[in-house]
Structure 1
Amino acid sequence: MKITMIAGSNREEATSTYLLQYIGRQLEARHQCSVTLIQLRELPLPFFSPNAYESDANARYLVQQVAEADGLILASPEYHGSVSGMLKNALDYMNGSHVSGKPVLSVSSAGGPVGVSSLLNLQTIVRNLHGVNCPEWISIGYGSHSFDSNGQPTDGGVRERVEQAVGAFVELTRLLTAGAAAAAYGRNA
């Protein structure tokens, strides 16, 4: 399975990006997934407009990685009760043909206890792109932002939560991928 992860923070040492990197290692080691991590801070995108997609190589790369993925993981810091502007801008480049029917795991990092508002915003965007929201999500808040020198969360509860949510996401991805393959086979038979 091919998973594309998008880190929506512009901060160099963003907790949400560290969390995605940890998730990516879990996907590769435990679930034998092929993982592409797109860090938007390293892939500058112009403000969305329909013309920008045609003329910007970074926008075309982003959309191609999303279109080719079996599943998506979106991560954002929570700013003022919502997702980062950087992630929202990137998602504006997507449409239903890129995301439709794909499972999406939402991940957030908040300065407060948890980033539920950003997760709800992400899930609304995913629904409007006709993606399938994973019933699990991951949010870490203050007190659980620490990572050790190996990039592993120092909080055992966070590690357990990630394992649970990633397991549910992988299972959903397998089911939806198998269903899409069966449907394609039926159309071609």
Structure 2
Amino acid sequence: MTQRRPFIVGIGGTTVTPSSTERALEIALRAAAERGADVQAFGGAFLSRLPLYAQKAERTAEERAFIDAVRRADGVIIASPGYHGSVSGLIKNALDLLEETAADPRVYLTGMPVGVIATAYGWQATGGTIAALRGIVHALRGWPTPLAAAVNSAVSRFADDGVCTDPAVMAQLGLVGQQVVDFLKRPALA
């Protein structure tokens, strides 16, 4: 019997592409793929085309594609820039769209491992953003991974090929992706 590969959805980026946030997300997703997962990224260019979330609005094709991917996902990785110490509006809008799953058999991110990444031009905003993302993940009934990656863009740069010049940051981002997949391999709790 063939077992299905886990499916991990990545959500992250900014309106400026490529951004350090999107590159950080790509590194984590690559690590998840190397662990045996199929991955799909919703980056800044895609997220910036989503209309502001409004309840009971007719959904666009892009909104439906995003919601469908999250519904099929076994895990999620969220990467947000730290804007004024918290999650960007672009990322928050995408996460608000998950309200569309409120009546599903699996509500929101129930039981899913969720990796969290914050990028900012300084350490203070990364901490606030990670805390905000973890709070959002808990509200959406997900399980944040033990490690969250904080990327200080003032000191850690990304090369044109998407690799971070700081080996410690590369390791952190990889570990976030690995933890999402490894969580799925754990035996179910009774």
TM-score bracket relative to the smaller structure = 0.7 to 0.9
Distance 2:157 2:74 in 1: 30
Distance 1:161 1:40 in 2: 22
After TM superposition, list the pairs within 5 Å mapping 1:109-148 onto structure 2. Answer: 109-113=119-123, 115-148=126-159
Structure 1 equivalent of residue 27 of structure 2: 22
Distance 1:74 1:172 in 2: 16
CA RMSD of aligned residues (A): 1.9
Distance 1:67 1:128 in 2: 17
9 and 105 in structure 1: CA distance in 2 versus 1, 3 angstrom threshold = same
158 and 48 in structure 1: CA distance in 2 versus 1, 3 angstrom threshold = same
Structure 1 equivalent of residue 8 of structure 2: 3
Bigger shift: residues 55-64 or 142-151: 142-151
TM-score normalized with structure 2 length: 0.85
Structure 1 equivalent of residue 163 of structure 2: 152
Q: In structure 2, the residue corresponding to 1:99 is in which secondary structure?
A: coil
TM-score normalized with structure 1 length: 0.85
- TM-superposed CA distance for 1:153, in Å, is 0.9
Over the matched positions of the two proteins, sequence identity in percent amounts to: 29
- TM-superposed CA distance for 1:98, in Å, is 3.2
Structure 2's unaligned 5+ residue stretches are 1-5
Q: In structure 2, the residue corresponding to 1:109 is in which secondary structure?
A: strand
Tell whether the 8 Å contact from 2:157 to 2:164 is kept in structure 1 after alignment: yes
77 and 19 in structure 1: CA distance in 2 versus 1, 3 angstrom threshold = same
After TM superposition, list the pairs within 5 Å mapping 1:9-158 onto structure 2. Answer: 9-28=14-33, 30-43=34-47, 44-52=49-57, 54-95=58-99, 97-113=107-123, 115-158=126-169
- TM-superposed CA distance for 1:120, in Å, is 0.7
Distance 1:135 1:102 in 2: 13
After TM superposition, list the pairs within 5 Å mapping 1:177-188 onto structure 2. Answer: 179=188
- Aligned-partner residue type, residue 188 of structure 2: G
> For residues 92-138 of structure 1, what are the alpha-carbon distances to aligned partners after superposition, in whole Å with 9 as ceiling and x for unaligned?
11145131111101101011125010111111111111111111101
Q: In structure 2, the residue corresponding to 1:147 is in which secondary structure?
A: coil
- TM-superposed CA distance for 1:143, in Å, is 4.1
Bigger shift: residues 139-148 or 110-119: 139-148
> For residues 30-71 of structure 1, what are the alpha-carbon distances to aligned partners after superposition, in whole Å with 9 as ceiling and x for unaligned?
21210000114224111111123x332211111111111000
Tell whether the 8 Å contact from 2:13 to 2:19 is kept in structure 1 after alignment: no
Structure 1 or 2: more helix by fraction: 1
